[in-house]
Amino acid sequence: MTGVTAVPHHLRLTQSRMPAYARDNLASLPQRSCRSQHTLGRSVACHGVGFVTGAQVELTLHPAAPGFGLAFQRLDCPGTPPVPATRDSVLPRQRRTAIGQNGVVIELVEHVLAALAGLQVDNCLVTLDAPEPPGFDGSCRPVVEAILEAGRVAQDAPRPCLIINRVLSVGLPGKQLTLRPLARPGLAISYHLDYGPHSPIRPQNRTFLADPADFATSIAGCRTFVLDSEVEALKNQGLGQGLTHQDLLVFGHDGPIDNHLLYPDECARHKILDCIGDFALLGADLWGHIDACCSGHTDNHDATAAVLQHCHLAPVVAHAA
Ligand SMILES: [Zn+2]
């Protein structure tokens, strides 16, 4: 199906309130329009080691019907139903996203969600035989490759779109996330990272327009990162036992230890990957500008709650694949 969705009358680009880096990057981005829902062409599996358990995990992505959304099912908990990847399923965690329902918990879902949402796969049942997906190298590239191998199939149903029609902010000054209207359909994400002059992670900015091809090439391979000084505390939380410096980016005084950056701003790009995964919990596309400054998963979860409370579904007239 093809068609055009009118930009609602009340949308206005709040350029004057944008930081210069976001304004400059947005100026050159192309327009996007509403689209149909998509699923996978067939089931596809990937394997790897879980960051929390250190155990081998098999994760399989299955096609699902229009309106199903994204959900995770633990095959190691026989008889339990899939847990929908929605805002209502989010459990309180530090530095990661976990979902659960009726005692069935799946940790660290954000990178799998990012791969699905980044490639605009809207309906998918994710099965796994462990409490967490494989961690891979701290990126979602293997899941993206699996999705591309299975193929993406258009479905005869429009993808709902939530419109950011007012400025919404969460977090605190210096660590906050602001959502702003955008004058055209589409989602732009800006991430500003600045951990101060003494951090081995240099200040960096990146703006990304939601687009499957750009996501696959410029965001999906960007890896999660920690400071060497934080590793002990994370291990005390049960995270990262047995991980090496090749399993994610560990920053010492002089940069990544026994590893190298794919891009000078790989950390900002990974934060955008995290945003894409966490905002997938909306179950709808988002039209607007996410402007994030040193924010994390909790801010993303608070922002999705604010969107669901304050924003409206777009009046979809027609849709395009
Ligand atoms: Zn992440």
- Residue 321, in any domain of the structure: no
How close is the Cα of 34 to the center of ligand 1, in Å?
27
Cα-to-centroid distance, 116 and ligand 1 (Å): 14
Q: What is the pLDDT of residue 236?
A: 80
Say how many Å lie between the CA of residue 318 and the centre of ligand 1: 34
Catalytic residue list contains 297: yes
The domain that holds 113 is classified in CATH as 3.30.230.20
Mean pLDDT of 35-60: 94
Q: Which residues are bridge partners to 313 per DSSP?
A: 162
Q: Is residue 9 part of a domain?
A: no
6 has pLDDT over 50: no
Neighbours of 152 (CB within 10 A): 16
Per the structure, the count of domains in the chain is 1
Residues 113/144, Cβ–Cβ less than 8 Å: no
How remote is the CA of residue 274 from the centroid of ligand 1, in Å? 5
Q: Give the pLDDT confidence score for residue 88 in this predicted structure.
A: 96
Q: Which residue would you say has higher pLDDT here, 246 or 159?
A: 159
pTM of the model: 0.88
Q: What is the mean pLDDT of residues 155-168?
A: 93
How far out from the chain centre does Cα 3 lie? 28
User: Which is more confident, 25 or 68?
Assistant: 68
Place of tokens 């994030």: 292
Q: State the distance from the centre of ligand 1 to the C-alpha of 289, rounded, in angstroms.
A: 20
- Classify residue 82: in a domain, yes or no: yes
Identity of the residue numbered 177: L
Give the domain extent around 201: 15-313
Q: Can you tell me the mean pLDDT for 308-321?
A: 68
More confident residue, 35 or 267: 267
Ligand 1 center to 106 CA (angstroms):
15
Within a domain: 233: yes
pLDDT value for 21: 52
- Beta carbons of 308 and 87 less than 8 angstroms apart: yes
Mean pLDDT in residue range 118-127: 98
Q: Is residue 1 in some structural domain?
A: no
Has residue 117 been placed in a domain? yes
What is the CA(217)–ligand 1 centre distance, in A? 17
What is the pLDDT at residue 24?
A: 54
Residue 104 placed within a domain: yes
Distance CA 288, CA 74 (A): 34
- Residue 59 tokens read as 């994760």
Is residue 8 a part of any domain in this protein? Answer: no
Q: Which amino acid is at 88?
A: D
Look at residues 248, 34, 28, 288 and name the one whose alpha carbon lies nearest to residue 154: 34
Q: Could you say which of 38, 297, 301, 319 is catalytic? A: 297
- First-to-last C-alpha distance (Å) of the chain: 6
222 CA to middle of ligand 1, Å? Answer: 9
